[in-house]
């Protein structure tokens, strides 16, 4: 395992602290009038999804985390577990509902996702940034309500609920941003 010096600190860096993988979410460099430079970091624990603040002095070294990300296909849900398959070597990984988190509301069978492993064990999954899903249920739009920007809740085929414009109907296909849970556009059914 390699090491990372403070001069290499940047947002998105994955390091290991006390045997736990962390993602550097934010990094600020500060040089006080006296003494050594300081690196103030917000670190996200990749196992527990908690964020901690850490400060390091210039020249300190951290260990690189053995974290890998690769494309995996969502296969199916089995009880409270989600099963994914690596598209390269066909190895299967099982994640709990806690590990999958909010990505679960956008997962469809055979969908490609980004799977993250630490020391060979799956720890989290990320749905694609944009997905196309069918509207399972939408209240009919009230007659005469033509004001722009009027939104209503709609339920998608995966169970996710988002706000969409009032002209959206049951059966429509929508492009949704999974990072923000926002409607992007009405579209055609995927091929």
pLDDT number for residue 132: 92
H and E: helices and strands count for the chain:
1, 16
138 with 175, same domain: the answer is yes
pLDDT number for residue 1: 66
| CA nearest to 115, candidates 191, 46, 181 | 46
Domain stops at, among 18, 38, 64: 64
Domain stops at, among 14, 36, 64: 64
11 with 23, same domain: the answer is yes
| Residue 99 reports pLDDT greater than 90 | no
Q: What is the mean pLDDT of residues 11-24?
A: 91
pLDDT number for residue 174: 93
pTM for the structure as a whole: 0.77
Helix H or strand E segment including 97: helix 97-100
What CATH number is given to the structural domain containing 152?
2.40.50.140
8 with 54, same domain: the answer is yes
Grade residue 40 by pLDDT with cuts at 50, 70 and 90: very high
60 with 7, same domain: the answer is yes
* CA distances from residue 107 to 48, 77, 160, 191 in whole angstroms, order as listed: 21, 10, 10, 17
Lay out the sheet containing 67-78: strands in order across. Answer: 92-96, 81-86, 67-78, 112-118, 121-126
pLDDT number for residue 102: 87
Instruction: List pLDDT tens digits, range 135-183.
Output: 999 888 776 665 667 888 999 999 999 999 888 889 999 999 998 989 9
- CA dist., res. 164 & res. 128, Å (int): 20
| CA nearest to 165, candidates 189, 185, 190 | 185
Residue range(s) defining the domain that contains residue 140:
130-187
Higher confidence at residue 20 or residue 32? Answer: 20
Are 38 and 55 in contact by the 8 Å Cβ rule? The answer is yes
- CA dist., res. 19 & res. 15, Å (int): 10
Mean pLDDT of all residues belonging to the chain:
89
């Amino acid at each position: 395992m390699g090491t990372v010096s403070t001069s290499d600190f940047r947002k998105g860096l994955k390091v290991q602290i006390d045997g736990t993988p962390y993602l550097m979410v934010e990094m600020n460099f500060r040089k006080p009038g006296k003494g050594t430079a300081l690196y103030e970091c917000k670190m996200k624990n990749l196992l527990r999804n908690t964020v901690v603040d850490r400060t390091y002095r210039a020249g300190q070294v951290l260990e690189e985390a053995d974290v890998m990300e690769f494309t995996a296909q969502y296969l199916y849900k089995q009880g409270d577990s989600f099963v994914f398959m690596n598209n390269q070597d066909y190895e299967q990984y099982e994640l709990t509902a806690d590990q999958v988190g909010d990505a679960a509301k956008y997962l469809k069978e055979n969908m490609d996702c980004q799977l993250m492993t630490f020391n060979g064990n799956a720890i989290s999954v990320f749905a694609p940034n944009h997905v196309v899903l069918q509207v399972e249920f939408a209240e009919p739009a009230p007659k005469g309500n033509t004001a722009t920007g009027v939104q209503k809740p709609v339920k998608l085929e995966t169970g996710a609920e988002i706000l969409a414009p009032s002209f959206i109907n049951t059966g429509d296909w929508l492009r949704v941003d999974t990072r923000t849970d926002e409607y992007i556009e009405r579209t055609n059914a995927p091929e």
